[in-house]
């Protein structure tokens, strides 16, 4: 049996001022080396769960372990284990990709030499070498997404959290990003991915969890779930399990 | 250490690419110090070198009014322009506008006669009190009609009062002369010799002006010595616009989310910002002082004389800069938007500058403000700079100002940390 990259047990969480808990007795296990997709309608709790797993939100009760380390106990040292690629662009737009990577590399705990090697490698892989010295604010949406991804992986994290990493990019850039993520996974990085691009997710994720209203309503291998619910694709499975009601109105 | 260095490098890169921020932090204060010093210097020259046009409407035909006019002329402050004695009030004010005169004075009809009559009454009273026989005088004739002084409202009250004082002294002089002449005639039955009159009246005791300084230097304070330190402090505190907004921008941006997920404390970022912006404040001070020393003489302003205690100057500048940076950080941490940080930051600095004595000297403030003044860090910074620049003090002499400034800085730092904790930013 594979070791667990993420182990969430009996998690209770509620936003301050909210009378009912957002998560109650929530459990989830993600094995090391998996390409795991977390899906659900708007307001289902995907981003909240990502924020809890990355320590951006603190929870009331329960436990979240990353590679066996309880995040409540380790705080900052645990942050070397994972990388985070948020949905919003998380870099300094005034700086170039190289300058951003140098800064975030230092904050991720790399030394000068490691930063230099890794920066050149990432710029090359993500096809950013030609624009490495130009301020990111002048880039297209797709190029910004690549910079956002590069910063999240500069320190070779063992777990990579990806919140809508390809939103708003063209097909070519999406391909490049997905291929790079698969390559990272082949080198041992666990991917925990959330997106509304379900066709893209089908190509990337081996295992998925469907969430709705703070609960996991399905969790298994994608193919097993498709067979079980007699669906051809993830979109059909998604609608079958979560219904057609638009959720934004309830948020 | 490498993390801190990388963060400082990042902050410097972002700062140098913010052209508007640089213009606000360097261009505006430089412009301000040049403009305010030029204005204050020209006011000083107006009082001391340039003459103020004073229209004279002499309705009197006697000799004493002529002597009064001579006395006013000899003050040296005024360029006298005689206008027709028949002009009414409306015409006089029109003439003031035509001649670009700030002042006009009207000497009433019978001014000489009335002044002479008053002198005779005083003489009579004096002789009686000495036990000598005096001519009988009608004491009801002793009132001299008032002079009328017209002034333009643009003339500041302090300036108007100093003009009034000068005119009163001229009036006093001719009245004294007249009393003396009358007294002399009554006793000696002949006119007072000119030589004796000069000896009695015009032989004034001179006043030696000695600026008091701790290093016994005789440097005379001027608009530059007053303004350059004051506006340097203002410039340092104006980093609130750039630093406060930078913290808010970082808080609101995605980069802050990323920073929180990395294995480095946000304190490193705060320390980096403090070091970077402290360097900025030191650079501001160096540039403004250099402008005072090298540029001011070239544009006709008095040159800035640096204090003899350069170490003291560096220490005061460092503490002042650190306090300014701490204030900006505090604003940045508590503000929710860049607009809040910029608006509150800028307005609060102007208020702190006003109550701190940068705009109106502390001694001229009402008593209640003198207590409030002590709450302004700009006040302590200004006092420390004045101690060095104007009083020739050393570092030990201005410690009394540095300690409160440091205390305010520590207080601001504590508030900032509490704010960060309350907002779960650290």
Write out chain A's pLDDT in tens, 251 residues.
678 889 999 988 888 877 788 888 889 899 998 899 888 888 888 888 988 998 888 888 899 999 888 888 766 778 888 999 888 888 898 899 999 999 999 999 899 999 999 999 889 888 888 899 999 988 888 889 889 989 998 988 999 999 888 887 788 888 888 888 888 899 889 999 888 877 777 778 888 888 888 888 888 887 787 788 777 777 777 777 776 666 554 44
Q: Which residues of A touch B9 (CB under 8 A)?
A: 102-103
Our CA-based measurement puts residue A193 at a distance from the nearest CA of chain B, in whole angstroms, of: 17
A156-170, B314-328, B336-350 — most confident range: B314-328
Picking from B6, B10, B424, B267, the residue whose alpha carbon sits closest to that of residue A107 is: B6
Asked if the model's pLDDT at residue B51 lies above 50, the reply is yes
Which residue in chain A has the smallest CA separation from B266?
A107
pTM of the model: 0.76
Our CA-based measurement puts residue B7 at a distance from the nearest CA of chain A, in whole angstroms, of: 6
d(CA B78, CA B29) in angstroms, rounded, equals 35
Is B389 in contact with B225 (CB distance < 8 Å)?
A: yes
Which residue in chain A has the smallest CA separation from B253?
A90
Predicted local distance difference test score (pLDDT) of residue A251: 43
Chain B CB within 8 Å of residue A116 CB:
no
Nearest to B3 among A54, A107, A151 (CB): A107
**Segment B193-232, tens digit of pLDDT:** 888 777 777 666 777 776 666 666 656 667 788 888 988 9
High-pLDDT (> 90) share of chain B, %: 21
Our CA-based measurement puts residue A70 at a distance from the nearest CA of chain B, in whole angstroms, of: 15
Which residues fall within 8 angstroms of residue B220, CB to CB, at 6 or more apart?
A: B211
Please report the number of interchain residue pairs, chain A to chain B, with beta-carbon separation below 8 angstroms.
81
Probe site for chain A from B11, B20, B252, B255 (most A CB atoms < 10 A): B255
CA quadruple A90, B271, A105, B12: dihedral sign: positive
Our CA-based measurement puts residue B21 at a distance from the nearest CA of chain A, in whole angstroms, of: 13
Asked if the model's pLDDT at residue B360 lies above 80, the reply is no
Q: Do A91 and B13 touch (CB under 8 A)?
A: no
Q: What is the DSSP letter of B373?
A: G
Probe site for chain A from B4, B262, B267, B269 (most A CB atoms < 10 A): B262
d(CA A161, CA A183) in angstroms, rounded, equals 15
A62-71, B119-128, B310-319, B392-401 — most confident range: B310-319
Mean pLDDT of chain B: 84
Predicted local distance difference test score (pLDDT) of residue B23: 85
Chain A CB within 8 Å of residue B190 CB:
no
**Segment A131-147, tens digit of pLDDT:** 999 999 888 888 898 89
Probe site for chain B from A53, A107, A136 (most B CB atoms < 10 A): A107
d(CA A145, CA A173) in angstroms, rounded, equals 9
Nearest to B6 among A56, A86, A103 (CB): A103
Which token pair is B158? 């302090």
Q: Which residues of A touch B264 (CB under 8 A)?
A: 76, 106-109
**Segment B408-424, tens digit of pLDDT:** 999 999 999 998 888 77
3-state class (DSSP) for residue A63:
strand
Nearest to A106 among B2, B253, B261 (CB): B2
Predicted local distance difference test score (pLDDT) of residue B276: 94
Probe site for chain A from B8, B258, B272 (most A CB atoms < 10 A): B258
Our CA-based measurement puts residue B290 at a distance from the nearest CA of chain A, in whole angstroms, of: 31
Q: Do B13 and A86 touch (CB under 8 A)?
A: no
ipTM of this predicted structure:
0.85
* CA separation, residue B402 to residues A154, B136, B143, B308, B370 (Å): 46, 71, 59, 18, 18
Our CA-based measurement puts residue A108 at a distance from the nearest CA of chain B, in whole angstroms, of: 5
Cα–chain center distance at A70 = 19
Q: Do B263 and A94 touch (CB under 8 A)?
A: no
Which token pair is B65? 């009014």
CA quadruple A115, A117, A123, A126: dihedral sign: negative
Predicted local distance difference test score (pLDDT) of residue A250: 46
Say which residue, B367 or B291, is predicted with more confidence: B291
d(CA B354, CA B281) in angstroms, rounded, equals 20
**Segment B16-45, tens digit of pLDDT:** 988 888 888 888 888 888 888 888 777 666
Query: What are the respective helix, strand and coil percentages of chain A, to the nearest 5?
Result: 40, 25, 35
Predicted local distance difference test score (pLDDT) of residue B323: 95
Residues 243-282 of B with CB under 8 A from A: 253-255, 257-265, 268
Q: Do A76 and B261 touch (CB under 8 A)?
A: no
DSSP of B197-236: HIIIII-PPP-------TT---PPP-HHHHHHHHHHHHHH
Which residue in chain B has the smallest CA separation from A71?
B261
d(CA A8, CA A36) in angstroms, rounded, equals 14
């Amino acid at each position: 049996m594979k070791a667990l990259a993420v182990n969430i047990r009996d998690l209770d969480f509620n936003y301050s001022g909210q009378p009912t808990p957002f998560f109650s007795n929530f459990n989830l296990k993600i094995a090391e080396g998996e390409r795991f997709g977390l899906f659900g309608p708007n307001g289902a709790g995907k981003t909240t769960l990502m924020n809890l797993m990355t320590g951006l939100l603190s929870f009331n009760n329960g436990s979240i372990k990353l590679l066996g380390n309880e995040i409540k106990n380790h705080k900052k040292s645990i942050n070397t284990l994972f990388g985070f690629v948020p949905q919003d662009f998380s870099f300094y737009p005034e700086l170039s990709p190289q300058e951003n990577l140098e800064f975030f590399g230092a904050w991720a705990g790399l030394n000068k030499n490691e930063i230099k090697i890794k920066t050149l490698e990432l710029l090359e892989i993500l096809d950013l070498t030609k624009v490495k010295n130009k301020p990111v604010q002048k880039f297209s949406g797709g190029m910004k997404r690549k910079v956002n991804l590069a910063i999240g992986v500069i320190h070779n994290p063992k777990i990579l959290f990806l919140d809508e990493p390809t939103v708003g990019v063209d097909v070519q850039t999406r391909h490049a990003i997905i291929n790079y993520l698969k390559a990272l996974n082949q080198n041992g990085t666990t991917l925990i991915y959330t997106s509304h691009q379900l066709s893209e997710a089908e190509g990337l994720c081996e295992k998925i969890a469907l969430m709705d209203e703070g609960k996991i309503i399905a969790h298994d291998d994608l193919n097993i779930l498709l067979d079980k619910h007699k669906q051809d694709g993830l979109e059909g499975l998604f609608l079958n399990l979560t219904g057609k009601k638009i959720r934004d109105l309830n948020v | 250490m490498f993390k801190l260095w990388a963060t400082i490098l990042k902050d410097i890169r972002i700062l140098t690419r913010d052209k508007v921020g640089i213009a606000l932090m360097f261009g505006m204060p430089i412009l301000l110090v040049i403009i305010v010093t030029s204005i204050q210097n020209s006011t000083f020259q107006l009082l001391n070198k340039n003459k103020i046009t004073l229209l004279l409407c002499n309705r009197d035909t006697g000799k004493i009014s002529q002597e009064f006019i001579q006395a006013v002329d000899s003050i040296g402050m005024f360029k006298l322009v005689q206008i027709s004695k028949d002009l009414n009030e409306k015409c006089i004010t029109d003439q003031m506008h035509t001649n670009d005169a700030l002042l006009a004075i009207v000497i009433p009809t019978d001014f000489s006669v009335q002044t002479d009559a008053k002198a005779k009454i005083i003489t009579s009273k004096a002789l009686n009190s000495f036990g000598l026989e005096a001519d009988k005088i009608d004491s009801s004739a002793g009132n001299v009609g008032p002079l009328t002084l017209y002034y333009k409202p643009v003339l500041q009250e302090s300036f108007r009062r100093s003009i009034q004082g000068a005119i009163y002294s001229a009036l006093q002089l001719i009245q004294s002369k007249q009393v003396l002449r009358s007294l002399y005639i009554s006793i000696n039955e002949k006119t007072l010799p000119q030589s004796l009159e000069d000896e009695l009246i015009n032989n004034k005791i001179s006043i030696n002006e000695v600026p008091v300084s701790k290093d016994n230097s005789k440097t005379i304070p001027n608009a530059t010595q007053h303004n350059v330190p004051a506006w340097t402090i203002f410039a340092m505190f104006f980093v609130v616009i750039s630093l406060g907004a930078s913290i808010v921008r970082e808080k609101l941006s995605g980069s802050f989310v990323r920073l929180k997920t990395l294995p480095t404390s946000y304190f490193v970022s705060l320390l980096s910002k403090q070091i970077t912006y402290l360097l900025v404040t030191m650079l501001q001070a160096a540039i403004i002082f250099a402008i005072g020393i090298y540029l001011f003489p070239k544009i006709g302003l008095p040159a800035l004389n640096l204090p003899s205690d350069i170490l003291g100057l560096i220490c005061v500048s460092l503490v002042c800069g650190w306090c300014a940076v701490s204030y900006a950080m505090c604003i940045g941490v508590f503000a929710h938007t860049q607009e809040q940080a910029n608006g509150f930051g800028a307005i609060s600095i102007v208020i702190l500058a006003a109550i701190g004595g940068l705009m109106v000297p502390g001694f001229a403030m009402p008593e209640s403000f003198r207590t409030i003044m002590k709450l302004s860090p700009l006040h302590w910074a200004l006092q420390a700079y004045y101690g060095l620049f104007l009083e020739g003090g050393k570092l030990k002499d201005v410690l009394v100002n540095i300690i409160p400034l440091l205390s305010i800085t520590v207080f601001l730092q504590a508030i900032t940390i509490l704010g960060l904790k309350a907002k779960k930013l650290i």
